[in-house]
Amino acid sequence: MRAFEANFVAAADHENEFPNLHLPEVAFAGRSNVGKSSLLNSIINRKNLARTSSSPGKTQTINFYVVDDKWSLVDLPGFGYASISKKTRSYWELLIFIYFETRKDLKFVCCLIDSRHDPQPKDLALLEWLVNNNKRFIVILTKCDKITEKAITERREQLLNLLAQCDGLMDVVAYSSESGLGKKDLIGMLNKYLVR
Ligand SMILES: Nc1nc2c(ncn2[C@@H]2O[C@H](COP(=O)(O)OP(=O)(O)O)[C@@H](O)[C@H]2O)c(=O)[nH]1
Ligand SMILES: [Mg+2]
């Protein structure tokens, strides 16, 4: 299974800087530390990495990549990063929702949730917003190598039950960037829903 090739195209900290790519798009969202960077690194080879560092303290941006020249991948800033000010935090959360509202080519959102814990208020707020705004989404349960198979099944059932009435839910995928669990499924879905 080949990893995707992603070319960095833009880093935006304002909606005016969102690029016009005219490609089917997917966005990855989740709370800080959920394992988003690890997941993205597990499925794509990113070029121009130096421009997109998201280590703590660095300026946050919404990062746009073109993948295999066919679709675009958007890496959204982590929700609720504790060490930035409340004011900055709400700016980022607002910008993320502006992004969701304005991207015409956005096909679905991958919502990352830590498999080890019940969904947190920020996770639920994201899911609720997507449901209320008729967006399609995949829930990805991260760090599944840290819990038992039984716990994975239970967490997956919990999310499926929670979202049972939601038309936008595409799937709940158990994932581990360490073990590779779910990688094939996720790559399969990205290919299926984004490649024309
Ligand atoms: N065991 C395990 N640890 C993970 C996994 N994914 C991420 N981590 C760890 O969780 C921490 C946060 O990961 P990172 O990808 O930087 O999260 P981000 O803030 O969402 O980008 C790091 O210490 C990672 O090594 C995983 O699948 N399994
Ligand atoms: Mg990160």
Q: What is the pLDDT along the chain (196 residues), one digit of tens a residue?
A: 667 999 999 999 999 999 999 999 999 999 989 999 999 999 987 765 544 455 554 568 999 999 999 999 999 998 765 566 777 778 888 899 999 999 999 999 999 999 999 999 999 999 999 999 999 999 999 999 999 999 999 999 999 999 999 999 999 999 999 999 999 999 999 999 998 7
| Nearest CA residue ID for atom 2, ligand 1 | 143
Q: Return the sign of the alpha-carbon dihedral for residues 45, 46, 48, 52.
A: negative
Output the pLDDT for position 50.
Answer: 46
Query: Ligand 1 centroid vs 114 CA: distance in angstroms?
Result: 10
Output the pLDDT for position 115.
Answer: 98
CB contact set of 90 (below 8 Å; sequence gap of 6+)? none
Ligand 1 atom nearest to CA at 30 = 20
For the CA atoms of 126, 155, 43, 77, what is the dihedral angle to 10 degrees? 30
Hey, is 6 helix, strand or coil? strand
Nearest by Cα to 72 from 98, 46, 105, 45: 105
Q: Which two tokens stand for residue 76?
A: 């959204």
The predicted model scores a pTM of: 0.93
CB contact set of 113 (below 8 Å; sequence gap of 6+)? 30, 34, 119, 123, 139, 140, 141, 142, 159
Output the pLDDT for position 88.
Answer: 73
Output the pLDDT for position 86.
Answer: 73
Ligand 1 atom nearest to CA at 40 = 15
Nearest by Cα to 65 from 25, 18, 7: 7
User: In the structure, which protein residues have their CB atom closer than 6 angstroms to any atom of ligand 1?
Assistant: 30, 32-38, 78, 142-143, 145-146, 176-178
Query: Ligand 2 centroid vs 35 CA: distance in angstroms?
Result: 7
Contact 147, 139 (CB under 8 A): no
Q: Return the sign of the alpha-carbon dihedral for residues 124, 18, 12, 66.
A: positive
Contact 172, 159 (CB under 8 A): yes
Q: Which amino acid is it at 190? A: L
Ligand 1 atom nearest to CA at 176 = 27
